[in-house]
Structure 1
Amino acid sequence: MFKTLYQHIGKYKTAALLAPVFVLLEVGLDVLIPYVTSLLIDHGITVGNLENVYTYGAIMLGMALMSLFLGIQAGRFSAFASTGFACNLRRAMYRNIQRFAFSDIDQYSTGGLVTRMTTDVNNLQNAFQMLMRISVRAPLSMVSSIGMCLFISGRMSLIFVVAALFLSLVLVLIIRSVARVFAKVLKQYDALNTVVQENVTAVRVVKAFVREEHENKKFIDAASLLRKLYVRAEGLMALNSPVMNLVVYSCIIALSWFGAKLVVSGQLTTGQLTSMFTYIMSIFMSLMMFSMVFVQLTMSAASGRRVVEVINEVPDITNPENADSDIPDGRIDFNNVSFAYKGGSGEYALHAIDLHIDSGQTIGIIGGTGSGKSSLINLISRLYDVSRGSVMVGGKDVRSLDLTALRASVSVVLQKNVLFSGTILENLRWGNPEASREECEQACRIACAHEFIAQMPHGYDTRIEQGGTNVSGGQRQRLCIARALLKKPKVLVLDDSTSACDNDTDRLIRSALAQQLNNVTKIIISQRISSIKDCDRILVLNNGRMHGWGTHKDLLNGNNLYKEIYSLQNDDSGDFDDSTRKEGMA
């Protein structure tokens, strides 16, 4: 973990080294100032020598100003290095998340990833800044102060040594208890962020089902548990203050009692006793800073493991060595393919799929919920890897192809495609950043989106809100289809991507695709037979297995399941997932 974190300090290493150097110089001056104060008292004020008062006073002022300058420089360099370190960590996490396969994303919750990139990185940033300043200042200050006390009076220094040992023992016990609580705090942050993310994303569903109170309770429960954990941790941390006060005041009383006797007997001067009072506060403030550092390091150790886990996560799907970027056409072959989700039950979602599609063909896929439709098409662009068998595009195994080239050649409009905040034109150019306005308009005409865009106040410059909330479901689907077309793919996959469109619009889109993209392999997944009946071939999936393969006419004549679906949808407009149909299949 530490090696990975160290590597991400990057170009900020110089600043990270300069910060403790300035702290070291600052501490040196801070430790000398009380000693100069004792000289001012003993050789100036006590003997009535104004010249010495002015001399030592000027020296103290100069040392204080220099200490201030050094402290500012230490703060500036530590802030620069710690914020840069945090930026590097977030960049590394985000870059690796972008490389994640779907199977990797399945391992982490969205809320958990948000927590790692925000709270956990903030903890590491604060800990790194403490390491550069407080963790350097505290031991130096304490050791130097104890050294000065020993120099002034060895016998009196025993008071500090005993007190410091007692306080260190108490702080260790407190820190050990706090560490266990903070480990739970970070996990609870994940839960809280997940609740917030789900609620904000699905706010329309929440309101439609009048579930605001239910969601409020979920949030309050998560926030309350987080509060309780923090109260417990802060309650333990609060013990620092009374214990510290007890030790400090005990030392002051002991120092006053024994010091007064030594002053009276002439073994200690008034100025030396005064400086020792300053050093005692410095010693115990250093111990208090030590406790802060250890608590922060304890929190950041848990955060560091979580951050490094994401940074070092090796994606399940990576580019092969000497990857092939040449994909000649849109031919697709499933060679005895079986597939199971990595984090699932271990059962196959697809069983022995043997399917061969010629380039330029239009293929329809139909099947009930959970039949494996989306799993099948996710294998084409290698969003997941097969468990057995092979998937080939353009006559080449997808595992041998360059991922960028493969996904540029296979354009997928998923069921849950989203639009991003920005203009319609900016959203369309996600498919091709170099696309001209004319190309965007042409793609929108094929997707039957140009007409409603033209009616908007600002046309293609109309702003889309986050998630496409200011357009209808059907409009959003058509914009996503247009965006996919701009990639100029060799394979176009529409995963139930016209489900929110009416039948006439669905028919117009299919007609335009057939006329304009006759050289592109098209795979249309739909719950409606009317959307796929004109396809060159239709695949019927049931429980992850091929249940039928052929033309619409062939399947009506030879596949009972397909015939049953057709009858339900034509006789009473029944849905494919209708309960009566399911009972008939059982």
Structure 2
Amino acid sequence: MNIKFKSPLHLKSHIGELTVLIRIFKMCFKYKKLITFGFLGVGGLVGSQLWIPYLLGTSVDRAYEKISSNSTDFSILWILASLIIFVSVLRGIFAFLLQYNGEKIANGISADLRNLFHKKLQSQTYKYHDRIHTGNLMSRGILDIEGVKMFVTTGLLRTFEIMTLIFFGSYLLLRTDLQIGLIAFGFIIPVALIATISRLRLRKIWNRIQKEFSILNTNLQENLIGVKVVRAFGGEDYEVKKFRSSHRQVTNDTMNSVKVDATGTSLVGFFFLLVWAFIIWVGGHKIIDGELTIGELTQCLVYLGMLQRPVRIVGLMVNSYARAITCGLRLFEILDSKPRIATIKNSNSINKIESLKFENVGFKYYLKSKKNDVNKINLDLKPGKIIGIIGPPGSGKSTIANLIPRFYDVLDGQILINETPLKTLNLNNLRSRIGLVSQHTFLFNSTLKENIAYSKPDSDLEDVIRVAKIADIHEFIDSLPEKYETMVGEFGVSLSGGQKQRIAIARNLFKNPDVLIFDDSFSALDTGTDKKIRERLVSFQENRSTLIVSQRVSTISHSDEIIVLDQGNIVDRGKHEDLVNKDGIYKTIFELQNPKMQVKH
């Protein structure tokens, strides 16, 4: 005899699924008051429902007795009718308690999960966001949270309601007539199995649909963000075909799920009608033989009808549990992920950055890469000093800029701020002292004032205007009808590249940082505007450290020290006057950008 043992990986998978359900249940019990009222609603709803078949059966028997005896005293029927109405009203009240509290718990947990999800994404590293596509995250943050919410609505309280109703309803059906009860169970058990199998099949389909929706969201997001690129290349037809292909797969699987659901529902309905017909036939014979009253048969049929809904819902609940596990596993994978860059315990805080040093710093984005993206970087940046960094594309300029606010951790060497290792500093405190203007300008879909005053939203307009003038954007903003209350379109699409860069510069000046980092943030400006802003920055930079990354020599020529990078290494350093007069990359770049000013020896 061959005995098959489940692999540890398989068992681990089931343990993980159970853990997901336990976590969701724990979240439900956080709302103790709502849970209490919800269970009260369940108890009252089940109790009142179980009374109704008995009252109906008794009413039928009493009515038959009155008709048979030609009695005109129908007072007992009025009492029974009043009781049925009263119990029905109670049932409605308890059903409201169950529904209202269940929905409130579900919405509360949904809000909690969204807040946790958003907070977790805010704390994750750049490398994390580089690795996971935004469309995937959006799918988990919307569809998966909705899946957990649906489980809370139909899972916890409804499970208790359905199980209680099936148990006591079955007991009362068997107690009313054992033979009819056993006949009913002969049909109910296979019906429950059909419903469950149908829902388990739906789970597999739903898993595929979830993944396909992630791909669909990614395609849609890329199309919306890259709409200009698509049109510039005439790629509309290609993108439409690609989107339709993804959407067709979602539609096919959705229709497949509808087919499975409809088949299961039809079979369940058919079997219940079959068992009703059989019970009426058996019950009719028992009434003729005097073994059963008409009221008792009515009672049995109503109990059976009452059991139809929970038996149908058993399959739905199995699907709800299965979907909750699927969604929960995907969701908790995000919520349980720990940021690789975080503030350590007993971290240090600084009031002002007095010095910033790179000591033999090495870093690479991909650990499997054979060589570093930057290697043996040494620099010393102090207040009032300006360091410029230049080099060919891909030489590591932006990498150095991104290491200072600790968007990534160095692999070799160390970065020191005030002679303290960067890793020992409080992250929020560190980043509050650094102003980075990235080469990829991002503006929020809000007013110009809110964009500039992002670090201090409640600031006075005068302070906003002051930095806008330094960034040479005030005149443009002042010419707009709504001035600083003008709404910026999504991703700043209503502004030119140069205008967006100047607003981003103003935003970082408004932050009043100790260290200013301009990462190729003058690239969209003409040389005249570039020069004007640099001249206005002179007084602002007096007591601050400034790092300027640029492709243009004119942008960094005034720096106290210029660092020349090539393939991640420092190949030269010095002042503009020295570098431009000796052979090397810097001189080559200068002559390419200034063909009429070639240096003569």
Under a length normalisation based on structure 1, what TM-score does the superposition of the two structures give? 0.93
State the partner residue of 1:310: 334
Structure 2: distance between partners of 1:343 and 1:158: 67
Alignment check: 8 A CA contact 1:319 1:401 kept: yes
Relative to structure 1, is the Cα distance of residues 572 and 206 closer, same or farther in structure 2, using a 3 angstrom cutoff? farther
Relative to structure 1, is the Cα distance of residues 464 and 163 closer, same or farther in structure 2, using a 3 angstrom cutoff? same
1:296-354, Cα deviation, whole Å (9 max, x unpaired): 22112111112212222211111121221115434221111111225875753222222
Instruction: Give 2:52's match in structure 1, choosing from 19, 22, 33.
Output: 33
Alignment pair present for 1:395 and 2:419 = yes
State the partner residue of 2:17: none
1:236-285, Cα deviation, whole Å (9 max, x unpaired): 22221222123112212221221111111111111111121122222232
State the partner residue of 2:206: 182
> In the TM superposition, what are the counterparts of 1:337-352 in structure 2 within 5 Å?
337-341=361-365, 345=369, 347-352=371-376
Task: Name the SS for the 2:546 alignment partner.
Answer: strand
> In the TM superposition, what are the counterparts of 1:419-498 in structure 2 within 5 Å?
419-498=443-522
State the partner residue of 1:119: 143
Structure 1: distance between partners of 2:139 and 2:596: 49
Structure 2: distance between partners of 1:556 and 1:64: 93
Computed over aligned residues only, the root mean square deviation of the Cα atoms, in angstroms, reads: 2.1
State the partner residue of 2:564: 540
Alignment check: 8 A CA contact 1:338 1:350 kept: yes
1:94-118, Cα deviation, whole Å (9 max, x unpaired): 1111111212222321112211221
Shift of 1:173: 2.6
Alignment check: 8 A CA contact 1:248 1:284 kept: yes
Alignment pair present for 1:19 and 2:38 = yes
Task: Name the SS for the 2:495 alignment partner.
Answer: coil
1:408-442, Cα deviation, whole Å (9 max, x unpaired): 11100011121112221111111333533222112
State the partner residue of 1:95: 119
> In the TM superposition, what are the counterparts of 1:276-355 in structure 2 within 5 Å?
276-341=300-365, 345=369, 347-355=371-379
Relative to structure 1, is the Cα distance of residues 509 and 273 closer, same or farther in structure 2, using a 3 angstrom cutoff? same
1:534-560, Cα deviation, whole Å (9 max, x unpaired): 211111222222222222233234452
Under a length normalisation based on structure 2, what TM-score does the superposition of the two structures give? 0.91
Relative to structure 1, is the Cα distance of residues 9 and 251 closer, same or farther in structure 2, using a 3 angstrom cutoff? closer
Structure 2: distance between partners of 1:463 and 1:43: 75
Alignment check: 8 A CA contact 1:327 1:394 kept: no
Relative to structure 1, is the Cα distance of residues 509 and 50 closer, same or farther in structure 2, using a 3 angstrom cutoff? same
Task: Name the SS for the 1:391 alignment partner.
Answer: strand
State the partner residue of 1:581: none
State the partner residue of 1:568: 592
Identity %: 27
1:445-501, Cα deviation, whole Å (9 max, x unpaired): 111111212222222222222222222110110011011001111110011111111
Task: Name the SS for the 2:542 alignment partner.
Answer: coil
Relative to structure 1, is the Cα distance of residues 69 and 546 closer, same or farther in structure 2, using a 3 angstrom cutoff? same
Relative to structure 1, is the Cα distance of residues 422 and 328 closer, same or farther in structure 2, using a 3 angstrom cutoff? closer
State the partner residue of 2:76: 52
Alignment check: 8 A CA contact 2:57 2:298 kept: yes
Relative to structure 1, is the Cα distance of residues 276 and 6 closer, same or farther in structure 2, using a 3 angstrom cutoff? closer
Relative to structure 1, is the Cα distance of residues 402 and 7 closer, same or farther in structure 2, using a 3 angstrom cutoff? farther
State the partner residue of 1:512: 536
Task: Say which is worse superposed, 264-273 or 203-212, in terms of deviation.
Answer: 203-212
Structure 1: distance between partners of 2:575 and 2:351: 28
Instruction: Give 2:128's match in structure 1, choosing from 87, 93, 104.
Output: 104
Alignment check: 8 A CA contact 2:471 2:505 kept: yes
Relative to structure 1, is the Cα distance of residues 572 and 71 closer, same or farther in structure 2, using a 3 angstrom cutoff? farther
Structure 2: distance between partners of 1:345 and 1:261: 84
Task: Say which is worse superposed, 260-269 or 175-184, in terms of deviation.
Answer: 175-184
Alignment check: 8 A CA contact 1:179 1:295 kept: yes
Shift of 1:129: 0.7
Structure 1, unaligned stretches of length 5 or more?
575-586
Relative to structure 1, is the Cα distance of residues 112 and 279 closer, same or farther in structure 2, using a 3 angstrom cutoff? same
Number of equivalenced pairs: 574
Shift of 1:507: 0.9
Alignment pair present for 1:521 and 2:540 = no
Relative to structure 1, is the Cα distance of residues 78 and 345 closer, same or farther in structure 2, using a 3 angstrom cutoff? farther
Alignment check: 8 A CA contact 2:573 2:579 kept: yes
Structure 1: distance between partners of 2:483 and 2:204: 57
Instruction: Give 1:153's match in structure 2, choosing from 158, 177, 183.
Output: 177
Alignment check: 8 A CA contact 2:61 2:294 kept: yes
Relative to structure 1, is the Cα distance of residues 4 and 349 closer, same or farther in structure 2, using a 3 angstrom cutoff? farther
State the partner residue of 2:432: 408
State the partner residue of 1:71: 95
Alignment check: 8 A CA contact 1:377 1:493 kept: yes
Task: Say which is worse superposed, 27-36 or 343-352, in terms of deviation.
Answer: 343-352
Instruction: Give 1:553's match in structure 2, choosing from 570, 573, 577.
Output: 577
1:123-172, Cα deviation, whole Å (9 max, x unpaired): 11111010244322222222222111111111111112221221233233
Shift of 1:573: 11
State the partner residue of 1:196: 220
State the partner residue of 1:366: 390
